[in-house]
Amino acid sequence: MLSISVPATSANLGPGFDSIGIAVDMQLTLQVIAPSTHWQIDHPFGDEVPHDERNLIIKTALALAPTLAPHHLQMASPIPLARGLGSSSTAIVAGLVLANELSGQGRSLDDLLAVATRMEGHPDNVAPALFGGLVVATYVQERVHAVKLPLPNLFASIYVPNEELLTAASRDALPAQLPFKQAVAGSSIANTLVAALATQDWATALPLLEADQFHEQYRAKLVPALATIRKVAHQMGIVGTYLSGAGPTVLTLGDYGQLNELQQQLRQEPTLTGQLHLLPVDATGVKVQKS
């Protein structure tokens, strides 16, 4: 039996808009049950998500290997849809790895990253899903440049609202242009953040996660939990809270003890009715097991 596991991802780390992502230990798992006369995928998301070749995992697999023989698949995932934890990216990565394994094409992870980035439009979610850990990446002239940084010895406090926030709606909240001075400031903050992450200077990096100039201030009205969580964290002396992906998930990086205390306080907030998770960073990315 072939089994594929892909971690959830959190992108847009502060000012790292469309360029910095981290993998967390919440896994989509995909099992190949057996060959079949038609494509079928069992999953827990109901009839709103297709169970046939229209499913994103299967569509992605067939985009990479159009002659792939049909199989019966089983997918399980606690990664919530349309919440900013890379649910579509994990599906794309799972589909590409599925096609790579079943077809015997032998493509490298770098090859799969190039394909995944073309499908997603940017690499900040798919890169950590493939490689694990903390990845800084960009897509220039149809070429992906990705750098995996030293694994942060940090945990993630993740607040997932009950309400979806579709990427399209979140994108619509962004301005068409930024003032030059603001763009320069945002770039300066992002550059310094990358240097701090690369040297594991968390005292510098964590506050910079809260200094984004590109998207958070425009999306904040769509995600009131961001201000609430950041306020509670600051009252406890904790910095490092940011909007995960396009939202509405809010993520805080820190050490386990601090974040455990933070979550105890967040559970007392009446407006925070969603789900809390306290997870380590996933170090390895996509995993393939054969039995």
Residues making up the annotated binding site are 80-90
Are 240 and 262 in contact, with CB atoms under 8 Å apart?
no
Pairing of strands 71-76, 40-42: parallel
Q: Would you say how long the chain is, in residues?
A: 291
**Of 158, 173, 165, 181, nearest in space to 254 by CA:** 158
Are 193 and 205 in contact, with CB atoms under 8 Å apart?
yes
Cite the annotated binding site for ATP by residue number: 80-90
Those residues whose C-beta lies under 8 Å from the C-beta of residue 253, and which sit 6 or more positions away, are 152, 154, 155, 156, 157, 206, 209, 240
**Of 273, 167, 260, 258, nearest in space to 224 by CA:** 273
d(CA 115, CA 92): 10
Omega before 7 within 30 of 0, i.e. cis? no
**Of 93, 244, 246, nearest in space to 166 by CA:** 246
